[in-house]
Amino acid sequence: MHNLMKIPKILQEISDKLNTLNAKAIIIGGSVRDHFLQKSIKDYDIEVYGLSTIDALESLLKAYGKVKLVGKSFGVLKFVYKGKEYDFAFPRRETKSGVGHKGFDIVSDGFMSYEEAAKRRDFTINAMGYDIEKQEFLDPFGGMSDMKKKVLRHIDDKTFVEDPLRVYRGIQFCARLEYKMAEKTKKLCIAMVEQGVLEELPKERVFEEIKKLLLKAKKPSIGFDLLKELNVLRYFPELSMNWAKLDKMQSPKNIKLMLAILTLHLEQERVEHFILRLSDEINLVKSVKALVKAYQKVSQTKLLDDIEIRRLSTKVSIEELSMICENELLLVNAKRLGVDKHPPKELLQGRDLIALGHKPSEKFSKILSLVYELQIRGEIVNKEDALNRVKEKSLWQ
């Protein structure tokens, strides 16, 4: 394991200043975990111990850069330095007081111990800290040991169950890190599912975790196997098929492609029903449905002719479709026709009709649609062909 954590110079300066006030800065959470995973650290979260008020921290930070007060009431300050944002927070206690992720009473306390503050976190690997001044790691719950064993283990039975989202977080972490979930953690998650507490989660929060699972894991199937094992699939009965195909998808992945792969076997209505339980994004629903419909058409047809490929390109990206179908010939033919990434570009527009002396009318859209259809059929291949066709009087009658 790495003894020293590389940190931005500004954090060292702030730490030095805090030290003169008998206070200290500890880097916490994901950035410490990512240090041990040898991943590049994008975000630094810092907890400050030894100050009596958040105002004192605000004053100190303002001497170094800008401070946003978005989360001040929760004991959190967003510090901006040279365009980069850092979260500074007071250690805090969270007490469950109501339903949902907002149902907590939060009390900041600059004089808590690190162990007490870290106890409210979800998993041991996310409860490690780095004392900047002492240049030493804090690991009150054995996170380093769990990382060596590749085990995801919760910290505290009582606090873990207070946020049902942790079931989904545990699943996506296991998939992304390719860790095993500790048996006790697994049993706790199953009990939470059986008690129905996951039902109080807003779908937006669930979707964020599903997206991390689908887009950040090399093998998303690990997560879906866990979803099944923990009985979470009771909320997604459509997902009864083998999801091994998800693992074949190479980067760059996007959420539309991954959701399409998950729902390839479903009828259009059930595709929509599934996605709407994750997101209200109508465009996402439409694009996934279109990909699934195209896949089902292509998988039933041995070979598409040029006209069918052009027509298909007006509905979906052939490049994306061929990735799902694993159909190289479809992509080769689409590239030959120039429609692998987008549909044929319309050769004519309204201004071309006006240039020919026609006055704008409701017939314009009809004529342009007809010309585009002839493009799709391959009967018109350039603008000259299109203009000649439009000059035919019969077309305007």
Residue 42 in domain: yes
For the cut 80, the answer to whether the pLDDT of residue 222 exceeds it is: yes
Look at residue 95 in the predicted model and tell me its pLDDT: 61
207 and 292 assigned to the same domain = no
Nearest-Å Rg of the Cα atoms of the chain is 28
Look at residue 102 in the predicted model and tell me its pLDDT: 56
Asked whether the beta carbons of 54 and 67 are under 8 A apart, the reply is no
Q: What is the pLDDT of residues 300-320, one digit of tens each?
A: 887 899 999 999 999 999 999
* Among candidate residues 176, 204, 235, the one where a domain is terminated: 235
Look at residue 274 in the predicted model and tell me its pLDDT: 95
Residue bearing the bigger pLDDT, 109 or 364: 364
Asked whether the beta carbons of 143 and 128 are under 8 A apart, the reply is yes
114 and 202 assigned to the same domain = no
Secondary structure class of 113 (helix, strand, coil): coil
113 and 9 assigned to the same domain = yes
Look at residue 105 in the predicted model and tell me its pLDDT: 60
Quick one: how far is CA 12 from the chain centroid? 32
4 and 141 assigned to the same domain = yes
Confidence tier at 150 by pLDDT (50, 70, 90):
very high
Burial 85-98 (b: 16+ CB within 10 A, else e): ebbbbbbbeeeeee
What are the distances in angstroms from CA 238 to CA 82, 172, 257, 269, 276? 47, 19, 17, 11, 13
202 and 325 assigned to the same domain = no
How far is Cα 391 from Cα 312, in angstroms, rounded to an integer? 29
206 and 126 assigned to the same domain = no
* Among candidate residues 235, 266, 299, the one where a domain is terminated: 235
Confidence tier at 71 by pLDDT (50, 70, 90):
confident
Q: Is 8 exposed, middle or buried (0-12, 13-18, 19+ CB in 10 A)?
A: middle
Residue 192 in domain: yes
**What is the overall mean pLDDT for the chain?**
92
120 and 27 assigned to the same domain = yes
* Among candidate residues 207, 235, 263, the one where a domain is terminated: 235
Look at residue 148 in the predicted model and tell me its pLDDT: 97
Residue 242 in domain: no
114 and 37 assigned to the same domain = yes
264 and 378 assigned to the same domain = no
Q: How many CA atoms lie within 13 A of 127 on its CB side?
A: 24
Residue 245 in domain: no
For the cut 70, the answer to whether the pLDDT of residue 104 exceeds it is: no
Q: Is 235 exposed, middle or buried (0-12, 13-18, 19+ CB in 10 A)?
A: middle
For position 143, which CATH number holds? 3.30.460.10
| Mean pLDDT along residues 90-109 | 65
Which residues form the domain of 73? 1-148
Q: What is the pLDDT of residues 226-243, one digit of tens each?
A: 999 999 999 999 887 779
How far is Cα 3 from Cα 1, in angstroms, rounded to an integer? 6
123 and 5 assigned to the same domain = yes
205 and 87 assigned to the same domain = no
For position 208, which CATH number holds? 1.10.110.30
Residue 173 in domain: yes
Look at residue 373 in the predicted model and tell me its pLDDT: 95
Confidence tier at 23 by pLDDT (50, 70, 90):
very high
Q: What is the pLDDT of residues 325-360, one digit of tens each?
A: 988 999 999 999 999 999 999 999 999 999 998 889
Confidence tier at 100 by pLDDT (50, 70, 90):
low
Instruction: Look at the chain and report how many structural domains it folds into.
Output: 4
216 and 95 assigned to the same domain = no
Residue 24, strand partner residues: 49
For the cut 60, the answer to whether the pLDDT of residue 97 exceeds it is: no
| Mean pLDDT along residues 249-254 | 84
Residue 2, strand partner residues: none
Residue 307 in domain: yes
Residue 240 in domain: no
Residue 183 in domain: yes
